[in-house]
Amino acid sequence: MSQGRATVLCVMAVADCAVLSPPIGAPTSAIAAVNVASMPQRSPLRYPGGKTWLIPHIRHWLAKPGPLLVEPFVGGGIVALTAVMENLVDRVLMVDIDRDVAAFWRAALTHGEELAAKVLEFPISRANVEKLEQRAPETVLDHGFRTLVLNRTRRGGVLAPGAALTRRGENGNGVASRCYPQTLADRLRAITSHADRITFCEGDGVAMLELIARIDGARFFVDPPYTGRGGKRAGSRLYAHNAVSHRRIFDALACAECDFLMTYDCSPEILGLVSDYGFEAVAVEMKNTHHDRIPELVINRDRLFANS
Ligand SMILES: C[S@@+](CC[C@H](N)C(=O)[O-])C[C@H]1O[C@@H](n2cnc3c(N)ncnc32)[C@H](O)[C@@H]1O
């Protein structure tokens, strides 16, 4: 794409992102975002920025099964869990830098049954959640349990420092309104039954990407936090870690010539990188929790999702 055309697209993106209606500087995806309620909910975490709406794209992308999917910014892990549980890949490698998120995945993968038992036993109340919040966890199991409870009881599932507990919640159920012990225990048990195919690693997803992007046959689902101009800028309050070099990510993927799928807020900065690296982007219109229509970019190397 020429520099001039990229500039025009970026200007269009600024204008169109502002009014939140397509076209937005990238063609619309041939696959629509789905209502998340119609998708299998596999993650016990209620993750801000979670990608359940993207599952039809993921299934299409991974239609030909492969050996390994790497998710360097795994968060709630809905993509990795779906890939393993629907046998779209043999194994997944999940990475996240957040120590609370890391503790959850370690506990879920190595102490899943005990974690499920703790969820079923916990007498949910505001006072008990506050007590749990203030106590430093002593074991990985305790830490993972604390992460899960705080994720399910804080507003919007936000784990970053300063996030408040839900007040009224759904139907006035307060902190209990997003805690479904039996459902969470079932999801944890489903993870346990696939744990031999899931590896979690706590660390920097960008460095990991640079290290392993050339592994033969590996595919990468990349969903980094985003705080840039023109985006939702929510990354800074949603995640404790939110500063990553987007150019380093694009560079690692371009140099390795690997198969990847990336998602980003629709912003001039990201459309500029897509153009610089010769990648393809489509827009998917998402409805957020306030029912605003937000365009998100789905980026990969080939024209996989564009309407012809
Ligand atoms: C947009 S969220 C991922 C959401 C995920 N795709 C889902 O569906 O739940 C971004 C995640 O990246 C993590 N993160 C931020 N900086 C990171 C880094 N340098 N390396 C690895 N993970 C990082 C955050 O902790 C957060 O969990």
Q: Per-residue pLDDT tens for 253-263?
A: 999 989 999 99
Predicted pLDDT of residue 288: 66
Check if the beta carbon of residue 198 is closer than 8 Å to that of residue 91: yes
Alpha-carbon span 230 to 212, nearest angstrom: 31
Cα(101) to centroid of ligand 1, in Å? 9
Q: Once rounded to an integer, what is the mean pLDDT over residues 92-103?
A: 97
Which pLDDT score is estimated for 15?
39
Q: Write down the domain spans for the chain.
A: 3-97+203-300, 112-193
Question: Which protein residue's CA is at the shortest distance from atom 3 of ligand 1?
Answer: 75
CA pair distance 151, 159, nearest whole angstrom: 6
- Whether 147 contacts 101, CB under 8 Å: yes
Q: Concatenated DSSP letters for 163-182?
A: PPBPSS-GGG-GGGGG--HH
Nearest to 37 by CA among 289, 298, 238: 289
Cα of 8 from ligand 1 centre, angstroms: 31
Q: In 3-state terms, what secondary structure has residue 186?
A: helix
pLDDT at residue 9 tops 60:
no
Neighbours of 191 (CB within 10 A): 23
Mean of the pLDDT values across residues 274-287? 92
Count of Cβ atoms closer than 10 Å to residue 238 Cβ: 22
Three-state secondary-structure class, residue 199: strand
pLDDT at 226 over 90: no
- Ligand 1, from 45, 96, 100, 105: best to mutate by most atoms within 8 Å of Cβ? 96
Q: What is the mean pLDDT of residues 104-118?
A: 98
Cα(163)–Cα(177) distance, integer angstroms: 17
Local confidence band at 136 (pLDDT 50, 70, 90 cut-offs): very high
Per residue in 236-273, pLDDT tens? 678 888 889 999 999 999 999 899 999 999 999 999 99
- Give the pTM: 0.89
Q: Is the pLDDT of residue 17 over 80?
A: no
Mean pLDDT across 129-147:
96
pLDDT of residue 14 exceeding 60: no
Q: What is the DSSP string of 119-151?
A: HHH----HHHHHHHHHSPP-SHHHHHHHHHHHH
Lowest mean pLDDT among 45-59, 125-139, 150-164, 176-190: 150-164
Between the CA of 238 and the centroid of ligand 1 the distance, in Å, is: 10
**Helix H segments across 154-234?**
181-192, 205-212
73 lines ligand 1 (CB under 6 A): yes
Average pLDDT of span 88-96: 98
The answer to whether residue 8 scores a pLDDT higher than 50 is no
Average pLDDT of the residues of the chain: 87
Question: How confident is the model over 179-183, as a mean pLDDT?
Answer: 91
216: confidence class by pLDDT, cuts 50, 70, 90: very high
Average pLDDT, stretch 285-297? 77
More confident residue, 199 or 2: 199
> Which tokens go with 266?
């629709």
Least Cα distance to 26 among 289, 216, 297 occurs for 297
Residue 194 has pLDDT above 70, yes or no: yes
| CATH placement of domain 3-97+203-300 | 3.40.50.150
